[in-house]
Amino acid sequence: MDFRLTPEQQQFQDSVLKFAKANLASAALARAHAAGYPWDVAKLMAKQGLLGITIPEADGGQGGSLMDAVIAIESVASVCPRSADVIQAGNFGPIRVLAEYGSTSQKKKFLTRLLSGEAVISVGMTEPDAGSAVTDLKTSATADGDGYRVNGSKIFTTHSAYADVILTYVRFGPGVGGIGSVLIGTKDPGVRRGKPSTFMSGEEWAELHFDNVHVPADMVLLREGGFKKQIGGFNVERIGNASRSLALGRYAFERARAWALERRQFGKLLAEFQGLQWKFADMKMQLDAAQLLLYRAAANADRGFPSPDETAIAKAYCNRAGFDVANEALQVMGGLGYSQEELVEYCVRRCRGWMIAGGSIEILKNRIAEGIFGRSFSQRGDKG
């Protein structure tokens, strides 16, 4: 066992850091507060080979491992937290599921633009009446001629305000076995965006309505029975969420550490007060523990999908650690930490969202408990 990065991974980390410092550092604060998607960053990253890191070369990707993608997201976030979302979108999210299960024609239609940073794909799972209980989703796909008619709506979809295509979870029939997914272009007839809204993080989203949208048969990604496969791919997205939580916690920690070595009160540096030293010690322990759990899940996945158990543990721990550390870092920086002149308050707001998104901490703990006891526990009413 070796807890260090390999020389190749170290070299890759150095090169991403160099790229991020040269291209992303100066506008990092402005980017965190800007509306919309950072398309300029996406195009730059595409040129740098940072989109599609884990996607096979035959599909236009880099053919790397999940650890490579984690290294990329961490390195970018350490310089520009907002730009880490572009690494997420281009490597960890529905793009990976599309690359894994998509047909040649689906990949041809969407992947090229996604990998060149000109378009972004969203995953639409959550509905007004199906959040944590995602298998209660109602959006239906009914056979019609050479394809399907899709009716329903999705909420809280990341990138929904500007995505080109939605990997949409739909119901072909009853029960969990009836769930599959289709690819719907946001400009397709019958697709409507509802009232724009924003999360606490500043990210925009809009309810997506599908009113009798025609989906040709060749735009079905996974037919009924595909739910398990989709969630397998979704574990990659969870690793990306975990990585960003940890990376933004670390960003805030590093900023607070630098501040504690600069700011004087009562004639002493903040770093010289034991009450603050212990905060830093606690933060460091949380960050290091989270890092090991994240790397375990990512390294064991190699070029495949990560294990559901290791992913649940890594995401739940990184979500908690990222938020707690960013919040403590804010405290250490006092009024400056709470101000939008610094990115620390942004890190707190972003980390808060990942405790809910992509499988809330509570739902992940349910999953962890199933692994501990070797059985499933129905969360539904009378079944116990």
Query: Contact residues for ligand FAD (CB under 6 A)?
Result: 122-126, 131-132, 156-158, 199, 353, 356-357, 360, 362-363, 366, 379
> Which of residues 153 and 307 has its CB atom nearest to ligand FAD in the complex?
153
For residue 199, the minimal CB distance to ligand FAD (Å) is: 5
- Put residue 359 in one of left, alpha, beta given phi > 0 → left and psi -120 to 50 → alpha: left
For residue 358, the minimal CB distance to ligand FAD (Å) is: 6
Q: At what angle do helices 104-115 and 94-101 cross, to 10 degrees?
A: 150
> Which of residues 129 and 262 has its CB atom nearest to ligand FAD in the complex?
129
For residue 380, the minimal CB distance to ligand FAD (Å) is: 9
For residue 130, the minimal CB distance to ligand FAD (Å) is: 8
> Which of residues 27 and 363 has its CB atom nearest to ligand FAD in the complex?
363
Backbone angles phi and psi of 283, in degrees to 5: -60, -45
For residue 334, the minimal CB distance to ligand FAD (Å) is: 27
**Residue with nearest beta carbon to ligand FAD:** 131
> Which of residues 241 and 291 has its CB atom nearest to ligand FAD in the complex?
241
Name 76's Cβ contacts closer than 8 Å, sequence gap at least 6: 16, 20, 24, 50, 83, 84, 86, 87
Work out the number of other CB atoms within 10 angstroms of the CB of residue 288. Answer: 10
> Which of residues 20 and 364 has its CB atom nearest to ligand FAD in the complex?
364
- Name the pairing type of β-strands 165-171 and 121-124: parallel
> Which of residues 64 and 124 has its CB atom nearest to ligand FAD in the complex?
124
For residue 234, the minimal CB distance to ligand FAD (Å) is: 10
* Long-range Cβ contacts of 136-144 (<8 Å, 24+ apart): 137/169, 137/170, 137/171, 137/179, 138/171, 139/168, 139/169, 139/170, 139/171, 139/210, 140/170, 140/171, 140/172, 141/170, 141/171, 141/172, 141/180, 141/182, 141/215, 141/220, 144/214
